[in-house]
DNA sequence: GTCTATAAGAAGATAGAC
DNA sequence: GTCTATCTTCTTATAGAC
């Protein structure tokens, strides 16, 4: 495997565990199996490694956003996807979102890193908010626009529906980032939440 | 003012801005108006300052938890407090919780610091979860136990009600920690959420 | 309790051989 | 591309005068 890629990968793992400032280039090098000075043949500084991780994550996010129409540009394009959705399908979609966020190897490490670094500069704040708040909310709002439009659910304000649907997912996700052992409990509560949500907005 | 106290205060401000590892004792000293070595007459190490902040915050939390019966021990003690609650009062309580969390000087700085340090060790994870997830959830569950018991609201599962009520507050709070300029928007959405929540659980 | 001077060590980064 | 050796700077902490 490409050494440049492996450096990024091991660095992300370490940054996610300890935070950027508490990781030393020697540790990254050791994880890769080389000595610290060798890193500088691939990246010009420690910050450069961090930036590379950021760039890759932005690329992945954009690719995913495009695939899911999370930009809201082409909101009704996949109306069919939600058109005939049942309570069970809604549960599956919420749990799927949660599980993807929680278990995707790269995404999970990146989220923890960003959680720790989010206050360091405005770009990181923006990125966090886009990926874990505004992005999901606008996607959910789009979904509820379709579901209420098709009279599958009944609600006046799709933005309120979106936050009521998504905020518990978000909170349980960040809970499990701290306490992976509470995943079962979180999943149970999440399912109950979504079933209740569905009842709350029944037509 | 007590120098020992001022060191703790300035250190918390800096830790909340940059994270523990990115703050140097010389910066803390400068903020206090003394030289770095003088700090060591008050605290034996940088970590010792951090621990003192933690201890103070735990004390404050315990005092507040006792005042609000957030332990769930004496759940029905202040039933009267919620007994005749109206929609507007529920809005006030949600917004009050949000605003208190957001604007309390000490609490706000402490939350940001804990957000950055939460993965560093299990004690900090526990503390974060207790203060911002389990504590508020158990308090809200107690409240909804009373409100459903008195038939002011209708719901089968107080834990689901608690997470549906509180998770949006939590998410908007962490959003405003990153983007204080979005407070107005957050407050508007929060109010709409609570009014909708009230309708969802109307008797 | 605060200062100056300084020890002791850690950490990022470079030089140059292989 | 990787290594050893090393530079430079930063950072925590101590010593000891005032």
A38-42, B144-148, B168-172, B185-189: the lowest-pLDDT one:
B144-148
- Residue B184 to residues B99, B106, B172, B173, Cα–Cα distance (Å): 11, 22, 11, 12
Could you tell me if B152 and B99 lie in one domain?
A: yes
- The CATH number linked to A88 is 1.10.357
Which residues from B are below 8 Å from A155, CB to CB? 196
Measured CA to CA in angstroms, residue B38 lies from B25, B51, B56, B68, B111 at distances of: 10, 18, 22, 40, 28
Which of A102, A12, A95, A18 lies closest to A57 in space, CA to CA? A12
pLDDT at A162 over 90: yes
Last residue of a domain, one of A24, A54, A84: A54
Q: How many CB atoms neighbour CB B63 within 10 A? A: 10
Phi–psi pair at A83, nearest 5 degrees? -50, -50
CA of B35 to C1' of C5 (A): 13
Q: Which residues of B spanning 13-72 put their CB closer than 7 angstroms to strand C?
A: 29, 34-38, 41-42
Q: What is the C-alpha to C-alpha distance for residues B56 and B29, in angstroms, rounded to an integer?
A: 20
pLDDT attached to residue B68: 76
Q: Which of A168, A176, A186 would you mutate first to test chain B, the one with the most B CBs within 10 A?
A: A168
Domain end call among B54, B81, B96: B54
Residue A49, pLDDT > 60, answer yes
- Cβ burial, residue A64 (10 Å; 0-12/13-18/19+): middle
State yes or no: pLDDT of B160 exceeds 60: yes
Q: Span A139-159, mean pLDDT?
A: 94
Selecting from B115, B166, B196 the residue whose C-beta is nearest the C-beta of A160 gives B196
Task: Give the three-class secondary structure for A16.
Answer: helix
Q: How far in angstroms lies nucleotide C12's C1' from the CA of residue A46? A: 8
User: Do B111 and B43 fall into the same domain?
Assistant: no
B74 and B120 housed in the same domain: yes
What lies within 8 Å, CB to CB, of B102 at 6+ separation is B108, B173, B176, B177, B183
For residue A117, the enclosing domain spans: 68-201
For residues B182-200, give the mean pLDDT: 97
Looking at residue A76, what is its pLDDT? 58
The least confident of A36-50, A91-105, B171-185 is: A91-105
Phi (first) and psi of residue B153, to 5 degrees: -125, 160
State whether B128 and B194 are in the same domain. Answer: yes
Q: What is the pTM of this model?
A: 0.96
Q: Which residue of A has its CA nearest to B161?
A: A193
Domain-embedded: residue B14? yes
Residue B81 has pLDDT above 90, yes or no: no
Identify the pLDDT of residue B78: 59
């Amino acid at each position: 495997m490409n050494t440049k890629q492996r450096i990024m990968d091991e660095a992300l793992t370490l940054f996610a565990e300890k935070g950027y400032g508490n990781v030393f280039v020697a540790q990254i090098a050791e994880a890769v199996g080389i000595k610290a000075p060798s890193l500088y043949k691939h990246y010009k500084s420690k910050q450069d490694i961090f930036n590379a991780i950021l760039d890759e994550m932005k690329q992945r996010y954009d690719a995913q956003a495009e695939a899911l129409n999370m930009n809201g540009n082409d909101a009704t394009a996949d109306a069919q996807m939600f058109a005939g959705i049942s309570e069970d399908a809604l549960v599956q979609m919420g749990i799927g979102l949660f599980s993807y966020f929680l278990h995707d190897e790269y995404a999970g490490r990146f989220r923890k890193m960003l959680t720790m670094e989010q206050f360091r500069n405005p770009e990181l704040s923006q990125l966090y908010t886009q990926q874990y708040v505004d992005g999901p909310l606008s996607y959910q709002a789009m979904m509820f626009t379709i579901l209420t439009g098709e009279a599958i659910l009944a609600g006046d304000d799709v933005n309120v529906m979106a936050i009521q649907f998504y905020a518990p997912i978000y909170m349980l996700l960040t809970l499990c980032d701290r306490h992976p052992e509470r995943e079962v409990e979180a999943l149970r509560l999440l399912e109950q939440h979504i079933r209740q949500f569905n009842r709350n907005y029944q037509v």
